[in-house]
């Protein structure tokens, strides 16, 4: 059991989905007991949610780390759970877990900054929300999607119900949705999404390198010095780019898995 817990803590997808499940169920139970009058801690969750008010945040700074694990609405919880799992597990094919953790915490921070920015500079959008708190791990998948949409924009993305997409298309769809909904309802949540998207996109732009020209001598020299393992990984990634992750054989998936584990140790 201890080994399984340690492995989950090292896995960004398991860390956020598992942590959010435990924390959210705990607060649902507390809320239910509070409604029945058995206890008086029904609003305990507010001490761990991120307040839009900066003076309140100063009194509970830990909420910057805890707010993604809290979900008050069970439908929102399952939607976030599915999206974090769907986007995270596919992004793990290309990226080391350490980077996904950094992206997630970057998205959490950017989401908080975006919330505070809109709350204080456009207060009219919060006229009907006197006590605004930010909760939910949607900022995590938003940061991952923002990163993937830029760095792997043309890579194919297969979804059972919707067929073949590209990462860039999915990012654009979510960006449009949040921009349209921003002034209408759940303004703080949509502002946080946009902040997390921006963090992931900027991270991807920062990592973009000038590609080698295959017709140039420099590329040939570079390719000659590649190891057999590196060439094998390139071939597998090209196959994913052409036909998707589902086209890989079990052996190819195992090679990718070993490579990702090796990157995590670097």
Task: Name the strand (E) or helix (H) holding 124.
Answer: none
Per-residue pLDDT, 162 = 67
Per-residue pLDDT, 11 = 87
- Are 188 and 128 in contact by the 8 Å Cβ rule? The answer is no
Does the pLDDT value for residue 178 go beyond 80?
yes
- Residue 132, classed as helix, strand or coil, is coil
User: DSSP readout, 183-245?
Assistant: TTS-HHHHHHHHHHHHHHHHHHHHH--PPPPTTSHHHHHHHHT--HHHHHHHHHHHHHHHH-G
Higher local confidence (pLDDT), 13 or 230: 13
- Are 48 and 66 in contact by the 8 Å Cβ rule? The answer is yes
**Tell me: the pLDDT tens digits for 53-88?**
999 999 999 999 999 999 988 999 999 999 999 999
pTM of the entire structure? Answer: 0.75
Average pLDDT, the chain: 81
At residue 211 the predicted structure's pLDDT band, cuts being 50, 70 and 90, is very low
Which residue spans of the chain are classified as CATH 1.20.1540.10? Answer: 2-207
Per-residue pLDDT, 234 = 72
* Alpha carbon distance 223, 216 (integer Å): 11
CATH of 2-207, one of 1.20.1540.10, 3.40.190.10, 1.10.3720.10, 3.40.1280.10: 1.20.1540.10
- Are 107 and 140 in contact by the 8 Å Cβ rule? The answer is yes
Q: Give the Cα-Cα-Cα angle 239, 15, 35 (nearest 5 degrees).
A: 135
**Tell me: the pLDDT tens digits for 13-61?**
989 999 999 999 998 888 887 776 666 665 788 899 999 999 999 999 9
Per-residue pLDDT, 214 = 43
- Across 95-104, 118-127, 218-227, the highest mean pLDDT is recorded for 95-104
- Are 22 and 108 in contact by the 8 Å Cβ rule? The answer is no
Higher local confidence (pLDDT), 6 or 217: 6
DSSP classification of residue 49: S
**Tell me: the pLDDT tens digits for 184-193?**
888 889 999 9
Q: How many CB atoms lie within 10 A of CB 45?
A: 22
């Amino acid at each position: 059991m201890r080994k399984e817990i340690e492995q989950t803590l090292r896995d960004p997808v398991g860390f956020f989905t598992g942590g959010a499940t435990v924390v959210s169920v705990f607060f649902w139970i507390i809320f239910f007991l509070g409604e029945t009058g058995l206890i008086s801690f029904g609003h305990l969750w507010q001490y761990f949610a991120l307040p839009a008010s900066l003076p309140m945040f100063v009194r509970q700074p830990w909420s910057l780390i805890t707010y993604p694990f809290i979900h008050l609405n069970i439908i929102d919880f399952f939607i976030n759970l599915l999206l974090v799992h769907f986007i995270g597990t596919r992004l793990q094919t290309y990226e080391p877990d350490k980077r996904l953790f950094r992206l997630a915490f970057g998205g959490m921070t950017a989401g908080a900054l975006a919330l505070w920015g809109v709350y204080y500079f456009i207060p009219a959008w919060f006229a009907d929300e006197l006590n605004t708190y930010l909760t939910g791990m949607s900022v995590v998948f938003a940061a991952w999607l923002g990163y993937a949409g830029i760095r792997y924009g043309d890579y194919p993305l297969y979804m059972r119900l919707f067929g073949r997409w590209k990462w860039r298309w999915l990012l654009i769809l979510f960006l449009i949705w949040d921009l349209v909904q921003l002034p209408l309802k759940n303004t703080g949540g949509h502002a946080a999404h946009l902040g997390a998207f921006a963090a992931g996109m900027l991270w991807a732009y920062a990592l973009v390198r000038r590609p080698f020209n295959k017709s140039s001598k420099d590329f040939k020299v570079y390719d000659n010095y590649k190891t057999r393992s590196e060439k094998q990984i390139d071939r597998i990634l090209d196959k994913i780019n052409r036909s998707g992750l589902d086209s890989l054989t079990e052996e190819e998936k195992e090679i990718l898995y070993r490579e990702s584990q090796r990157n995590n140790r670097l």
